[in-house]
Structure 1
């Protein structure tokens, strides 16, 4: 079955497609501008073109003929430019008096320009957006490294991203993968790079550049989907830290075997907090405080300072919960961490200043 899955993934060939073919699947966020500002820019650009054409005609006025038999004035040149740029072409029926030509310039031409903006503006905007997205995709695929891929932009995925951004991660360093277009639209509006597709397919994860990612967060709605996504992500990236949220604790060993570094059982964690809240609600409040990095207290990790080597973590000014040594967490109070060693990391409670 896994062999058939691999064949189907390779058949998609998403990463081998040209960049312009990825527009719609891979979306790079951009700064939103007011539609009125965009409209004013278009109108000013049209007026600038009109004046440029009028100057060209006026400077070469000896080569133009007026059916009225008069010399070409700047007003004539401007009038000629308006009917030319607006593709009107009066032919044998043309106003010859200055008043009529002035009326065409002041009234008819602006109306015609507005019509052209309404008629063509959407098409031009789509083409411009597609070209801009193609360029952004090219640049992004060349430069993206050490980012975080978040699979699933539901409640868990959004909350995880919010926590990372509150802890200093830049939105540009987060890529969201989901099959829900509404969720991806919300992620894009939040300034996140998005990929539309199923993360169970290796080509979709390659499009999110999971092979260059520093970490992967799997926040799917189903545990079996989480297992398959984890297997695929680990196959593409042997070094990335993979964190997975699941509903049932009995599936934890499957995720560990699939390559997950950390597994969070969301249903049991919520159940424990609910049980604690019935007797000691203040404990739940402090737990929420610790898990909210932008206010109050927060659990953080830092490198050991040279002056702290050899000392006990219990004697530091920081409240140390544990020591990370060679990738393993050792809780304070165990004999192994009576003395801090070089290369250790301290897991401590940090005071967050508002």
Structure 2
């Protein structure tokens, strides 16, 4: 492993988090309701056509107040032609309003319609030109209000499953930030309604963009153990109080993860192996475990504060099925003699009904 000093020197290069917000457009993506380009253009074209025909009808109804170069009375085609050249500000001058009523109508109706018509026609161009500034302002507001959220490093199978579990437990998608370097993965996360940050999660400036310094919890679901260790170390240096939960493939790296600052370490390969072994003999046990790990259906494992009426009693005699007691940050099994009586400040790990029931 590299020394912490070398890591810090490497991570300080190209510090994006210190740059202006407009430089982060494309790096930070905040999901929003999207409309297909074809539909957006189609709506503008419809608005333009409606404005054009409305203007032509107004002109035709007051055709007596207009005069063309030949002195003939205006037909509806002439009115449509006049409306088109007027709204587009071409103005050939071959048809002109001569009566006071026609000029008043041009002032009160035709001119506002001309402005609206031009806005509709160039709306797409204006939207493209202002999109970068709009996104920069949106990113600035998001960063200013980013507090007590959850940062998920990696949105592969493990990260996506972790997010699904958190949302099933009631965490809002707006309170989850995904960090990954794969554009396709980030596209999927954004379509799921999640804020995404593109970059290497082992770099401190990328984690600062995700608001790690103000996060309540951090989930490290990287595909490689060395990446997970370095990302955990970087996250812990930025936030000394956040709860960090990390997943690794090999159990021999568990001590590295804990030394790097992880509060909880899940060995994915061994956990899957145990479930496979159990399933060969008692597959129903695996079904129960999967049920407990799925918060939106059946039963789920949860943690809650102790009710004042429960203090002094046994954890086994509460209204819920208690699996363990968390005291002073340490988890005790329910049959541990150290937690024979529930105390004030304890937290109970129990089985509850899923959110869909």
How high is the TM-score relative to the length of structure 2?
0.82
2:13 match: secondary structure: helix
Distance 1:51 1:22, change over 3 A: farther
> Of residues 237, 240, 250 in structure 1, which corresponds to 2:239?
237
CA distance in 1 between partners of 2:198 and 2:205 (Å): 11
Q: 1:316-349 CA deviation, whole Å, 9 max, x = no partner?
A: 1210001111111111111111111111111001
> Of residues 172, 190, 193 in structure 2, which corresponds to 1:170?
172
Give 1:149-164 correspondences, 5 Å limit. Answer: 149-164=151-166
Give 1:50-65 correspondences, 5 Å limit. Answer: none
Give 1:178-217 correspondences, 5 Å limit. Answer: 178-217=180-219
Show the counterpart of 2:99: none
Distance 1:18 1:49, change over 3 A: farther
> Of residues 6, 9, 16 in structure 2, which corresponds to 1:7?
9
CA distance in 1 between partners of 2:53 and 2:6 (Å): 64
Moved more, 186-195 or 3-12: 3-12
1:351 aligns to 2:353 (yes or no):
yes
Moved more, 74-83 or 173-182: 74-83
1:43 match: secondary structure: helix
CA distance in 2 between partners of 1:214 and 1:227 (Å): 19
Show the counterpart of 1:103: none
1:42 aligns to 2:44 (yes or no):
yes
Moved more, 33-42 or 175-184: 33-42
Distance 1:228 1:36, change over 3 A: same
Shift of 1:169: 0.6
Distance 1:134 1:44, change over 3 A: farther
> Of residues 309, 315, 320 in structure 1, which corresponds to 2:322?
320
Q: 1:118-166 CA deviation, whole Å, 9 max, x = no partner?
A: xx67655544543432222111011011110001010000000000001
> Of residues 328, 332, 337 in structure 2, which corresponds to 1:335?
337
> Of residues 276, 279, 284 in structure 1, which corresponds to 2:278?
276
Tell me if the contact between 2:85 and 2:92 (Cα under 8 Å) persists in the aligned partners. Answer: no
> Of residues 289, 292, 307 in structure 2, which corresponds to 1:290?
292
Distance 1:81 1:12, change over 3 A: farther
Shift of 1:80: 4.3
Give 1:26-105 correspondences, 5 Å limit. Answer: 26-33=28-35, 38-39=40-41, 41-43=43-45, 45-46=47-48, 67-68=69-70, 79-86=81-88, 89=90, 91=92
- RMSD of aligned Cα (Å): 3.3
Structure 1 gaps of 5+ residues are: 97-112
2:341 match: secondary structure: coil
Structure 2 gaps of 5+ residues are: 97-116
